[in-house]
Chain A
Amino acid sequence: MVSGEGSALETRDDVPERVGLSRRDVLAKGGLVGAAALLPGLLAACGSDSGTTATGGATGADAQRPIDELSLIVPVMSTRLDGLRGGSQLNGIVNIALEPLILLDEDFELVPNLATRFEQTGPTTYEFEIRDGVEFWDGTPLTPADVVYSVELHKNPESELHSYWRYLKRVSARGTTVTVEMTQPRSQTLLAVANVPILSKRYYERNKAKIGTPGVLNMGTGPWKFETFVPEESLVYTANEKYWGGAPHIKRIVATYVTESSTALLAVRSGTENGNLDIPAGPEVTQYQRLSNVRVQRSGAGLRGAFFAFDTRKAPWDDVHVRRAFRHCIDREAVVQAALAGFGTPAVTWVPAEDMERILPAEEVASLYERFAEDGAFDLERARAELAQSSVPDGFEAEITVSDAEIDLRRTCEIVKETLKEVGIDLTIKVAPLNVVTEEMFVKHAYSLGIIGGQAGIPDQAAIVTLVNDSANRLPDGIFNVAEYENAEADKLIDTIHATPLDDPARVDALVELMEVTNRDVPYAMIYHPDSVMAIAEEYEYKKFNGQWYATRWPDQIVRV
């Protein structure tokens, strides 16, 4: 159980210090992915560890050379700064200003922030000691009532963090202590708390109708304040010189969302932008590598992934032999080269090895993944053998719809189509707008065969695998189990994962077992894990870059070299 005791979660009020929650070796953090461009949020819901730095809320300004202005291209931009948009890369945009109670540091360990102490006091209860003397940007003091209000906002389904908080029973304050009670054990609760922006209740109530719009913005306590905001386009932050943790070393941050990738590249090349925080894995990375004035940083970690989804209710996908045959037809190495220009790794299960090694010894990961790789190997002979045992031994026709915005997934389908043909499966590829594909895929579960790419919203290795395999997430009550997969054994393991604290080794065991079950039943077939890539002007460096930068206070990691 994550508790104050073992995790040294206490710090002195006036001197924030880093106190790791030591989840890294114990927790299986889950988290999954997002369906492609739109799913970036999906996976964000589950989360796990990987983290940033941040010294317990302090920005570490003393140790870093000041930067007057940092201008970065970001992969997403919020529609509103109302504190309800998040659960994905948007957290990284909003929460550096509207800071949370606890933070994930550069190693993805939970550390105190606006809470000087946090503790899981029971299977469903958590306590947070609110830091004294913190002020909002307008000079009003932070109170426990603000914290209660900020958390309660997410009980509304309008919140994009609602999936974490649907099990919230009560949040209450006594003195300087805030207690969060859930209706059932939810091991991701602390990660969810690290996602919740703390807002001024007074300001929010006063501007409720238009909160988060360009003219109103929002009121927080973080090291950077909102200056100007153009929805879905740009956000300018200025340093909060009165920040309780010390003035931040970056005095101004300009975050811009650039639709056109060629323009973004030229902007970085010309020096107009100091960097691009998230470059899609693919040929574009090579173009950045050719620039002489930027450093390109890559990470295999980041809980990104792409996979096929089979509707297990519908023929012929209701036959496990068909699903296994399909899996044997995926030439992952070729797909990584063609779809990602080599900037990725073939996927054998849900979690990239680099992320898995945070919670399981490397040799165990290697052994486990070797077995998964063998089970799902690209092997047309085995595919034919599986098909021969199936209800459609002579092959069949299938159809898949891909979004016009997801070129990597489209290329993937084109390659797999060719190998499927060799075993008698005739695949037709259709293209549709992103919103249509998403609605048909998730809201209606209309596709018998689908392809999904995305990233976990929070750094929990269990996030995606639990989300898309949980029978509770089938229609009509849920949307994420697009395979409509139902397996009592898997559900039990998912319940165990949810009920077991992040730092309990039993959670990792349950996760591994769940991976085994889904590897056997194949409701989904893994394809690849794209690398996380960023580019930044040579005079800067992003220390410990990780694909889940947005789960941390990422500007703390950017230094002048």
Chain B
Amino acid sequence: MSRIQNPIARLVAKRVLFSLAVVMFVLLLVFSLIHLAPGSPEATLAVQNPLGASPERIEQLREQYGLGDPLPVQFLRFVGNVVQLDFGTSYRTNEDVLPMVVERLAVTGPLILLALLFATIVGIGLGVWAAYRRGQAVDRATSSLAIFGASSPEFATGILLLYVFAVLLGVFPVLGAGEGFVDRLWHLTLPALTLAIAGVAGILKLTRAAVVKALEHDSVTFGKARGLAPSEVLRTNVLPNSMVGITTIVGLVAIAYLSGSALVEVTFDLPGVGALLIDAIQRQDIPVIQMITLLVALVTVTINLAVDVLYLALDPRVRARASAEAGQ
């Protein structure tokens, strides 16, 4: 670490190491929670079909998956395998866990990105609009609408959208993820809207607050006094000064979507990672739970890292502070 001369690179390296430690801690925590929860994987597997359950079957499963070994041994075995990129096989389906999860990422990934795109465009757009119309009807209306969306359970929002757009109007499908780019986009539109509605409120409120603050800045007053067009002021002064706050909330919303997507996937019957995780938890399919946990942890720390790096890119004051800290 000390050989890294660039202060920015040193900061990033520090954050990467910290993130790896966080991932390990999360893995240990989840592993412990799985085993602390009532019920045992071998019994849960055996009684999926009670007729197939028997004391000998339970014993067979215990031996097959090494579930009789001490927990530290099981955890270290898991970590050792992960280092070799071996994530094991699903207890339930006998599939290799890595391709199983990757395949479902082809649903969950686009879903989250699409939702984030919707939420960001609408949230930032309405937030800026509300800030410019502070205290007016538009401001109150957008805030109320966003809060209403955020307060609605994703399940209820999803069913309502399904009923209106899929059943009554018939413009979107009810079930499934579709095949091919266009078909998938069509299938994911309603689920992504459902997810987006839940995230718009946060982005809108933060954007509004950041823009209101930026609008009060001297540089904006100066720009206006020089006769700059409002759009020019927005582009050169207001948005740059608001971007740190907006980036933060977009990152948080993206992380929230990692877990929020599970409910949406169930509602729209999408074969995504979230739905898989719910099934895996209910059946105590430990390799799948651990793989998805690892994935979510990695994505979360990556988003946080990306947000930190974006701070540096967006705001020279943060860059200067980082350099000063690194030089001490």
Instruction: Report which A residues bind B (CB closer than 8 A).
Output: 34-35, 38-45, 79-80, 82, 85-88, 90, 157-163, 210, 212-214, 230-234, 256, 258-260, 262-263, 266-267, 269-270, 272-273, 432-436, 438-439, 442-443, 457, 476-480
Contact = CB atoms under 8 A, between A and B. Distances in A.
Given A41-B49, A266-B167, A443 B58 contact: yes
30 contacts: A38-B50, A39-B50, A43-B51, A45-B51, A79-B48, A79-B94, A87-B49, A90-B49, A160-B52, A210-B94, A214-B95, A231-B93, A232-B279, A233-B269, A234-B271, A256-B175, A259-B266, A263-B175, A266-B167, A270-B170, A435-B39, A435-B282, A435-B283, A439-B40, A439-B43, A442-B50, A442-B53, A476-B55, A477-B55, A478-B54
Nearest to A269: B167
A273 B269 CA distance: 13
Contacts of B284: 435
Contacts of B50: 34-35, 38-39, 41-42, 438, 442, 479-480
A457 B50 CA distance: 10
Contact of B163 (A41, A266, A457, A480): A266
A232 B93 contact: yes
Contacts of B162: 263, 266
A442 B49 CA distance: 11
Interface string B19-56: 00000000000000000001110011011111111111
8 A-B pairs with the lowest CB-CB distances in the bound complex, closest first: A160-B52, A41-B49, A42-B50, A45-B51, A231-B93, A439-B43, A87-B51, A157-B57
Contacts, number: 154
A478 to B, nearest CB: 7
Contacts of A87: 49, 51-52
Given A88-B51, A214-B95, A260-B269, A158 B60 contact: yes
Contacts of A260: 155, 266-267, 269
B257 interface: no
B54 A163 contact: yes
B138 interface: no
Nearest to B285: A79
B94 A213 contact: yes
A42 B46 CA distance: 12
Contact of B282 (A157, A162, A432, A433): A433
B47 A38 contact: yes
A538 to B, nearest CB: 17
Given A232-B92, A263-B267, A270-B167, A479 B49 contact: no
Interface in B157-216: 159, 162-163, 166-167, 170, 173-176
A232 B155 CA distance: 21
A273 B71 CA distance: 45
Nearest to B263: A260
A234 B50 CA distance: 22
Contacts of A157: 54, 56-57, 60
Nearest to A480: B50
B128 interface: no
Contacts of A158: 57, 60
A214 B104 CA distance: 13
Given A210-B95, A267-B175, 5 more contacts: A79-B94, A80-B92, A88-B49, A213-B94, A270-B174
B51 to A, nearest CB: 4
B273 interface: no
A511 to B, nearest CB: 19
Nearest to B283: A435
A322 B219 CA distance: 84
Contacts of B87: none
Contacts of B159: 262-263, 266
Given A258-B269, A434-B282, A435-B283, A38 B48 contact: yes
Interface residues of B, number: 44
Nearest to B270: A233
A45 B49 CA distance: 10
Most buried by A among B43, B49, B166, B267: B49
Contacts of B155: 260
Nearest to B58: A443
A217 to B, nearest CB: 12
Contacts of A42: 49-51
Contact of A272 (B44, B175, B282): B175
A304 B54 CA distance: 22
Contacts of A88: 49, 51
Contacts of A435: 39, 43-44, 47, 282-284
Contact of A213 (B47, B54, B93, B268): B93
B175 A258 contact: yes
B51 A44 contact: yes
A34 B163 CA distance: 34
B47 A438 contact: yes
B275 interface: yes
Nearest to B38: A436
B271 A163 contact: no
A161 to B, nearest CB: 7
A445 to B, nearest CB: 12
Interface in B271-293: 271, 275, 279, 282-284
A494 B60 CA distance: 29
Nearest to A476: B55
Contacts of A44: 49, 51
B175 A479 contact: no
Most buried by A among B44, B60, B267: B44
Given A157-B60, A266-B159, A443 B268 contact: no
A75 to B, nearest CB: 13
A189 to B, nearest CB: 15
A85 B93 CA distance: 11
A458 to B, nearest CB: 9
A163 B52 CA distance: 6
A501 B267 CA distance: 48
B49 to A, nearest CB: 3
A214 B275 CA distance: 18
Contacts of B95: 210, 213-214, 231
A232 B282 CA distance: 13
B296 to A, nearest CB: 20
B59 to A, nearest CB: 9
Contacts of A443: 43, 46-47, 53, 58
A44 B50 CA distance: 9
Contact of B166 (A214, A262, A270, A477): A270
A267 B44 contact: no
Contacts of A232: 92-93, 279
Contact of B93 (A38, A79, A433): A79
A439 B279 CA distance: 17
Contacts of A40: 49
B313 to A, nearest CB: 41
A263 B55 contact: no
Given A231-B92, A270-B166, A162 B57 contact: yes
